[in-house]
Amino acid sequence: MINIAIIGAGRIGHVHARALGARDDVTLTLVCDPFEQNARALAEKYHVKYCLDPDEVFDDATVDAVVIGSPTQFHVDHILKAVNSGKRVMCEKPIALDLESAKRCIDELGDRADHVMMGFNRRFDPTFSALKDRLDDGEIGDLQQLTVVSRDPAAPPASYIAGSGGIFKDMTIHDFDMVRNFLGDIAEVNAVGTNVSPEIAEQGDFDQVIVTLKSRDGKLATIINSRTCAFGYDQRIEAFGADGMLSADNLTATAVRKATSTQTEAKTAVMDFFLERYEDAYRIELDAFLDSITIGGAVCPSVRDGYQALVLAEAAARSAKEHRAVTV
């Protein structure tokens, strides 16, 4: 039995706690959050203990593995303390708010970095991974262009934006990881950003961005992000290849369509947000992490992938600020 602790009992802490329930060789034993009402709410839901100080998790010899869902500014500290106390770790994205901290983390971990998993859940989404498998099988020949669309239904609260590191590190980071997963190493980044939300503009962040990337072997990618979307959580991918195209549209709760005198092919609304749209992905992601503990071997994506995605996020932020292409 693998004993798990969750650090950070917020939105993503709840998602991971729910996903843990799918395995019978795993027990959630401890929840940690300095805000007692958050710690208690998650702990009571799953009938487990809670604590307010992360050091209690690291000092607890009965905890085998830690899922880190604390705010990004604490990730490096929590990763290092957990690994140094002998625990296996899965940490939410992004690895850190700045490259220096991320590099310190990777350097201090050394070989152990290959065993610390990064929470890039979209790699595990069954629809996106089926698309990637078919691309890898050569169904559309060589990939030439990738388009990733990711729009949130509504922006997070101002307090979350303030500690998020900005849209490129907080939101686009998922898409940078997807592009790296499809295209390999990136050579060049071009980004533009704008605002439809005055509140986000006041915080010095963008709420709409478009990023174009060129891989080392000349393939192109476009990422389109918005913090708001009138029709819900817009998550699509299109891979354009020499012999055709593979695309993955938004998912709806059922496949039922309606035709009337005013509409044809009408589906129900797209899945609400990350909790619903990526429920399977979070479960499969956690499975991969837990399998790395029971079966052994390196994890993928690891914190090294987290570092590389952050390199692209910083390049995009510089590109948008300086209005120029940035070579990576």
Ligand X SMILES: NC(=O)c1ccc[n+]([C@@H]2O[C@H](COP(=O)([O-])OP(=O)(O)OC[C@H]3O[C@@H](n4cnc5c(N)ncnc54)[C@H](O)[C@@H]3O)[C@@H](O)[C@H]2O)c1
- The residue ranges that bind ligand X (CB under 6 A) are 7-13, 32-35, 38, 54, 69-72, 74, 92-93, 119, 121, 160, 170, 274
Q: Between residues 60 and 92, which has the closer beta carbon with respect to ligand X?
A: 92
Nearer to ligand X, 135 or 316 (CB): 316
Least distance in Å: CB of 12 to ligand X? 4
- Nearest distance, CB of residue 293 and ligand X, angstroms: 20
Residue nearest to ligand X (CB): 10
Of 189 and 310, nearer to ligand X (C-beta) is 310
Among the residues of the chain, which ranges form H helices?
Answer: 11-20, 36-46, 54-59, 75-84, 99-109, 126-136, 158-162, 167-170, 172-183, 198-202, 274-277, 279-294, 303-322
Going edge to edge, which strands form the sheet with 326-327?
244-248, 234-241, 143-151, 220-226, 208-215, 186-194, 326-327
**Of residues 119 and 301, the one with the C-beta less far from ligand X:** 119
Nearer residue to ligand X within complex by CB, 182 or 233 = 233
Q: Shortest Cβ distance from residue 86 to ligand X (Å)?
A: 20
* Minimum CB–partner distance for residue 6 and ligand X (Å): 9
CB of 114 to ligand X, least distance (A): 20
Helix (H) and strand (E) counts in the chain: 13, 15
CB 19 within 8 A of CB 283: yes
Instruction: Please say which residue, 121 or 215, places its beta carbon nearer to ligand X.
Output: 121
Cα separation, 242 vs 141, in Å, equals 5
Q: Is 327 exposed, middle or buried (0-12, 13-18, 19+ CB in 10 A)?
A: exposed
Minimum distance from residue 273 beta carbon to ligand X (Å): 9
Q: Among residues 52 and 266, whose Cβ is nearest to ligand X?
A: 52
What whole-number distance in Å separates Cα of residue 146 and Cα of residue 150?
Answer: 13
In angstroms, give the least distance from the CB of 71 to ligand X: 5
Q: What SS3 class is residue 51?
A: strand
Paired sense of beta strands 186-194 and 143-151, if any? unpaired
**Residue 297 CB, nearest distance to ligand X (Å)?**
22
Q: CA 274 to CA 70: how far, in whole Å?
A: 17
Report the length, in residues, of the chain.
328
Tell me the pairing of strands 244-248 and 208-215. unpaired
CA distance 277 to 287: 18
Closest to 46 measured CA to CA, from 2, 9, 11: 9
Cα(220)–Cα(5) distance, rounded to whole angstroms?
40
Name the residue nearer to ligand X (CB basis): 131 or 161. Answer: 161
Q: Which amino acid is at 90?
A: M
CB-nearer residue toward ligand X: 220 or 275: 275
Residue 266: CB minimum distance to ligand X, A: 29
Spatial contact of 72 and 97, defined as CB atoms under 8 Å apart: yes
